[in-house]
Structure 1
């Protein structure tokens, strides 16, 4: 459900927002007064019907490919049509795998298995060769075709082209809060209490890549929120440049996840995913052609950087499959092609709020079992979210820790006692911009929303050199 709060429009005569095609005949739009009496109503339908390809986004797979993911009501394989740069020729790639979907019973708890469930449609994926600069792409399912997108190519491993990457965690959805809707219960309210300042900034051609490391939509068991998030990303850079996504607690952990990890430390037995237990996440963000466990941990190369996407929601201790995968992955990095290594994981090692004992327990285990590997292999940066703030460390055994988990929300107000090694701590909505300058230079900038000027401003920056 969408709700536009007229009293919050400050006298404006109109308000515009973009509801996603719900794959079920459209919407009933009602005008309801303060007494909840319906004054009038109409219907809102979508010209292409339920088969319309919606929520598209690009990602990177394999060594040199791109993958287009989208959602439709059609269970028939779709296709991606793209135009080779500088020519009039269009190339068609048909979907080779069966479109996938899931049922309420595939998940593990409420509200995902009950009031939060809505038929999610079918999830489609097509891998295509790398594009030329500003190539045109269309997506087709059934009798419906998407609009034409202009998409940037993937920068291949070893390519020294200077570029910028947006790094953020805990991004969320316009109209929703942190509980599966504006006030929970799957309802999206507009004007949004927490606007998408970061999402809007992502819709700029200056970025070559986006990396989102967990707590993506905050659907928390409500399918409607996932749909709206997917549409918001599609309208704000999702097809402009590749986006790579990893898992967080709000996608995976539950009180009774049948594949969950419940160690004797930390706070892994919680209802944070609203009973989703990774099912919507794994359907929306597949990793075709990658050596990974589903899509929970994996790596990829982009330009001069090797990116490692870890899952802090799965077993990462010595002897685990993820730990073994990480050791193998690090041993294969070609530092001649990718001199920089950037690792990400949803949960932080260091917390600027030293009173947070739970995060500290997890941090200790990450330090003892994961960071011995990262430090041994000279990883440069570790990005994390989970705590809704920004913080940055000085180098710890060569690794700079960056907490950038305020993609839409800020929380965890505390005394910034800045225990070593944290040098900076800020409670601002924002993101980190990585500027990959060369094999020897890399800059990072924290852009934060400033309410007094209604602009994004630089509040922190640092540089690395080799």
Structure 2
């Protein structure tokens, strides 16, 4: 090393120091928000196409047209350019001060066969799209990424999710980061269309979806208009919370930004939904919401405490296996935990608000690391939850390391169905979920 240039020697010594001390991975700074050119598509052509599950064997197709006279019809079938079925849906639009949305179409199609590729066309015009329905039995794979936004890192995350052979994308809030600038909802829809038009995206709201202006504008107008979820199919009266099932998995999507105390509609709906879960038919039970309850990051510390105090006993009594949350722009995985302590019958909590937003990463963590926290890192990435059978699932987190998807955390998770926990808590569960 004695013949090295001083600058080169510094680099080598720095690398040796990092390797020798096992330093934490340090992410590059956040990338700039993407900018999109004005669309040159015909006014009747479908834009921002995305799909979502809509009850048993049905799919909701959503798209937007500039042409207000475009019909809300979807033609579909299992062969290219050959459609043997047609469905007609509904449409809506909204104003946000000077902004006026296009015509937003929502059309439910089905019944559909499981694990089958369908080809479809929206509004009788424009290009052909295709999607694959989820399987009816294990294995089934969920891609999980929250707090997406519209940056270069978002683009990397979307690219990596596309490489994952997933069946459903679960998004725990903060989609577009439009933050009142309504055209950013349109550019987000175009950005995610290649993925969201080919696999169902199931989302719940985050704080960036609220867009409320006291007295002038109520919250979630844009979100509710554009991203309609199967709330009515699950007995909910609000698009902000609902449930759905895929293969042998029951998933509860909760709202961190709507009332959740024991007198609220959401709380009562949750009790009713959990009381109907059949663990023989759906041995896996997951919950998804935006603000994490178990978070050892300085960012958003304690913001989920009130919701946790209200709803954690319900999830524990029902034997929820895994909880996914976003909000904190970093990744963290917990051991099974309940009431702040390790508990073999509690859920694993996973914070995955690291999709690629423009606000950057949350680098500061509490020290010492809590006993319940297993792995934590401030990097952008996405997760994959592959449920292999009724008792075992494989979770992996993939860091966006220099634009490559690098598996950086992984663990096998055993369902509580085979643990004895459900038998132990069955009486408590029934009392808690059935009592008025």
Please indicate, yes or no, whether the TM-score normalized by the shorter chain is above 0.5: yes
Which position in structure 2 is the counterpart of 1:56? 49
CA distance, structure 1, for counterparts of residue 160 and residue 258 of structure 2: 31
Aligned counterpart in structure 2 of residue 134 of structure 1, from 107, 117, 133: 117
Asked if structure 2 preserves the Cα contact closer than 8 Å seen for 1:60 and 1:154, the reply is no
Asked if structure 1 preserves the Cα contact closer than 8 Å seen for 2:380 and 2:400, the reply is yes
Query: Is 1:66 matched up with 2:66?
Result: no
Asked if structure 2 preserves the Cα contact closer than 8 Å seen for 1:205 and 1:240, the reply is no
Q: Normalising by the residue count of structure 2, what TM-score does the alignment of the two structures yield? A: 0.79
CA distance, structure 2, for counterparts of residue 420 and residue 20 of structure 1: 51
Query: Is 1:81 matched up with 2:69?
Result: no
Asked if structure 2 preserves the Cα contact closer than 8 Å seen for 1:385 and 1:406, the reply is yes
Query: Is 1:244 matched up with 2:202?
Result: yes
Secondary structure of 2:48's match?
strand
Pairwise CA distance, 1:122: 1.2
Equivalent runs, 1:261-340 vs 2, <5 Å: 277-287=219-229, 289-290=232-233, 291-340=235-284
CA 292–146 in structure 1, closer or farther in 2 if over 3 Å, else same? farther
Asked if structure 2 preserves the Cα contact closer than 8 Å seen for 1:214 and 1:245, the reply is yes
Query: Is 1:347 matched up with 2:306?
Result: no
Which position in structure 2 is the counterpart of 1:271? none
CA distance, structure 2, for counterparts of residue 439 and residue 85 of structure 1: 33
CA distance, structure 1, for counterparts of residue 201 and residue 111 of structure 2: 14
Asked if structure 2 preserves the Cα contact closer than 8 Å seen for 1:131 and 1:152, the reply is no
CA 161–87 in structure 1, closer or farther in 2 if over 3 Å, else same? farther
Pairwise CA distance, 1:20: 5.9
Asked if structure 1 preserves the Cα contact closer than 8 Å seen for 2:63 and 2:106, the reply is yes
Query: Is 1:403 matched up with 2:383?
Result: no
* Residue deviations 1:12-67 (CA, integer Å, cap 9, x gap): xxxx986463xxxxxxxxxxxxxxxxxxxxxxx43xx2121111111001232111
CA distance, structure 2, for counterparts of residue 450 and residue 202 of structure 1: 14
Equivalent runs, 1:393-432 vs 2, <5 Å: 393-396=334-337, 397=343, 398-409=346-357, 410-417=360-367, 418-432=369-383
CA distance, structure 2, for counterparts of residue 292 and residue 413 of structure 1: 37
CA 370–125 in structure 1, closer or farther in 2 if over 3 Å, else same? same
Q: Normalising by the residue count of structure 1, what TM-score does the alignment of the two structures yield? A: 0.74
Pairwise CA distance, 1:169: 0.9
CA 326–388 in structure 1, closer or farther in 2 if over 3 Å, else same? same
CA RMSD of aligned residues (A): 2.3
Asked if structure 1 preserves the Cα contact closer than 8 Å seen for 2:335 and 2:372, the reply is yes
Note the residue ranges of structure 2 that are not aligned, 5 or more in a row: 1-33, 338-342, 419-436
Pairwise CA distance, 1:154: 3.4
Asked if structure 2 preserves the Cα contact closer than 8 Å seen for 1:172 and 1:217, the reply is yes
Pairwise CA distance, 1:146: 2.6
CA distance, structure 2, for counterparts of residue 276 and residue 257 of structure 1: 7
Secondary structure of 1:368's match?
helix
CA 205–449 in structure 1, closer or farther in 2 if over 3 Å, else same? closer
CA distance, structure 1, for counterparts of residue 50 and residue 317 of structure 2: 35
CA distance, structure 2, for counterparts of residue 160 and residue 20 of structure 1: 43
CA 250–139 in structure 1, closer or farther in 2 if over 3 Å, else same? same
CA 456–205 in structure 1, closer or farther in 2 if over 3 Å, else same? closer
CA 17–173 in structure 1, closer or farther in 2 if over 3 Å, else same? closer
CA distance, structure 1, for counterparts of residue 284 and residue 37 of structure 2: 40
Asked if structure 1 preserves the Cα contact closer than 8 Å seen for 2:134 and 2:140, the reply is no
Asked if structure 2 preserves the Cα contact closer than 8 Å seen for 1:305 and 1:340, the reply is yes
Q: Which stretch has the larger CA shift, 62-71 or 202-211?
A: 202-211
Which position in structure 1 is the counterpart of 2:88? 94
CA distance, structure 1, for counterparts of residue 211 and residue 184 of structure 2: 18
From the two aligned structures, give the one with the greater helix fraction.
2
Secondary structure of 2:190's match?
helix
CA 335–376 in structure 1, closer or farther in 2 if over 3 Å, else same? same
Note the residue ranges of structure 1 that are not aligned, 5 or more in a row: 1-15, 22-44, 105-112, 175-191, 259-274
Pairwise CA distance, 1:207: 1.0
